[in-house]
Amino acid sequence: MTPGPVQARRLKILIVPAGKLGPQWAAFRRGGAEDLRRVLTILAERGIDAKLIDPFDWPWNPFAGGHTLFRALDPLRALRILLFERRVDVVVAYFESSALLVLLLRRLFRFKGRVVIHDVGLTEAWRLRERLLDFVIPRADGLVLLGSNQVAYVEKRWPAHGFLQFLPADVDLDFYEPEAPPQDGAILSIGDDAARDFATLLEASRGIAAPILIKSSGVRVDRAAYPNVTVLSRRLPDVEYRRLLAEATLVVVPLTPAIHASGVTTLVEAMAMGKALIVSDSPGIQDYVVPDETCLLVPCGDTAALRAAIQRLIDEPETRVRLGANARRFAERHLSPAVQAEVLEQVFRHVIAAGPAG
C-alpha cells in the first residue's frame, strides 16, 4: 500500500519532559551511561526529528523548586511552544502536567500541533492530580500508556478521549547486558516511589540468611530487627547502578496494588541484565511479567509467599538462570528501542491524520 502524504513527509516533534533532560543528553558518553536518546535516534532514521524543550529554572519558572507535577506546568515554556514552535507536528508531553497549559491555550493561540501525553500518572489517591487528569485526558490528541490496564481504565473513566496506545517501557539493551551471575551476591530491591512495598520485603527477610540490599532514599531500617538488611540511599552514577544490578543474586520488586506501572524501570533494567526476578502481582505491571517463565509472581502484601519465593530462588540456581535468560529474551522481543520507535511513529502519524481532539 502506497502511503499517503501524512505518512510520506518528515515530521517534527517536541519533547516536553517533566524534569530536565538536556544536561544528561549533553554529558552522555557511550558505555558510561544509559542512552536517553536511543529511541529518538531511531525515530530520526524513520523520518521524525525531535527537539527538546526542558522546563525553565526559577525565576522564569515559578514552580521550578516544587513537586514534578507543578514544575512541569512551566507557563513560560508553554508560551514558548505556542508562540515559537508553531510548525511542530506533535508535542510529546511526559506526564500530564507538561501538557496542561498547551492544551488549555492552544485554541486561543490557534496552535495546530497535536499533543500526545506519554506516561500518565493515573491515580485515585491525589485529588489535585485527578482534577488535572479530568481536564487533560479528554483534550489530548493521544495517550501513550505503560499498561494495558491503563487503557481499560481510561476508556471506562473518560469516555471522551483521544487515541489510546499501550506501549511498554523500553530499556537500553546495550547498556544493560547480562553478565556472569555471582556466586554469593545480595538479594537486591530498588525504588523510591510510593507504591514500593518494602515493609512486606522486610518482614519476608526474617528467616532468610542471605544478605538483602535495598536501594532507596525513602527507607529506614532498624539493623537490630533486620540484621541481614542494608539500605543504600545515595544516588548512583549509571555505571555504579548497573554494577549493583550485575552483582545481585536476584532482584525483588515488592509492590502495593497500583494502576500505574510502579516498579517498571527497575523491572525492565533487571530483565535486560538477565536477572532472576520476584515481582508482586500489581495490576500496573502485569504486561511485563510471565509467571514462572520470566519471574516468580507473588500476591501483593503476602509476606509468606514472598519469603518462600526468595528461599526458592536461593535454593535453585538453575531456576535463577532459566528465569533470567527468559527475561532477557522478553526484553529483546518486547522492550527494545526499535519496538518503541516503531509504535511511536504510528501514534504520531495517526493523531496527525485524525485531527485535533477536544
* Residue 207 within any structural domain of the chain: yes
Q: How far is CA 249 from the centre of its chain?
A: 24
- Alpha-carbon distance of 119 to 69, in angstroms, equals 13
Same domain, 24 and 110: yes
* Residue 178 within any structural domain of the chain: no
pLDDT in the model for residue 358: 61
pLDDT in the model for residue 5: 47
pLDDT in the model for residue 180: 84
In this structure, what C-alpha cell is assigned to residue 120? 500518565
Same domain, 213 and 273: yes
Same domain, 151 and 276: no
* Residue 175 within any structural domain of the chain: no
In this structure, what C-alpha cell is assigned to residue 166? 499501550
* Residue 344 within any structural domain of the chain: yes
| Helix count and strand count (H, E) for the chain | 14, 12
Same domain, 34 and 73: yes
Largest CA distance in the chain: 69
Sign for the pseudo-dihedral over CA of 95, 98, 104, 109: negative
Rg for the chain, CA atoms, rounded: 21
- Alpha-carbon distance of 266 to 190, in angstroms, equals 7
Q: What is the 3-state secondary structure (H, E, C) of 192-223?
A: CCCCECHHHHHHHCCCCCCCEEEECCCCCCCC
Same domain, 107 and 225: no
Q: Which residue has the cell 541484565?
A: 273
* Residue 264 within any structural domain of the chain: yes
Same domain, 313 and 348: no
Residues spanned by the domain of 206: 187-334
The CATH number assigned to the domain holding 309 equals: 3.40.50.2000
Same domain, 207 and 74: no
Domains in the chain: how many in total? 2
* Residue 176 within any structural domain of the chain: no
In this structure, what C-alpha cell is assigned to residue 63? 514552580
Which residues have a Cβ under 8 Å from the Cβ of 216 and sit 6 or more positions away? 189, 190, 191, 192, 196, 198, 231, 232, 233
Same domain, 202 and 297: yes
pLDDT in the model for residue 114: 98
pLDDT in tens, the chain (358 residues): 333 445 568 999 999 999 999 999 999 999 999 999 999 999 999 999 999 999 999 999 999 988 889 999 999 999 999 999 999 999 999 999 999 999 999 999 999 999 999 999 888 778 899 999 999 999 999 999 999 999 999 999 999 999 999 999 999 999 999 998 777 899 999 999 889 999 999 999 999 999 999 999 988 898 889 999 999 999 999 999 999 999 999 999 999 999 999 999 999 999 999 999 999 999 999 999 999 999 999 999 999 999 999 999 999 999 999 999 999 999 999 999 999 999 999 999 999 999 887 6
Same domain, 31 and 143: yes
Same domain, 139 and 250: no
pLDDT in the model for residue 4: 46
* Residue 206 within any structural domain of the chain: yes
* Residue 182 within any structural domain of the chain: no
Same domain, 217 and 130: no
Same domain, 13 and 146: yes
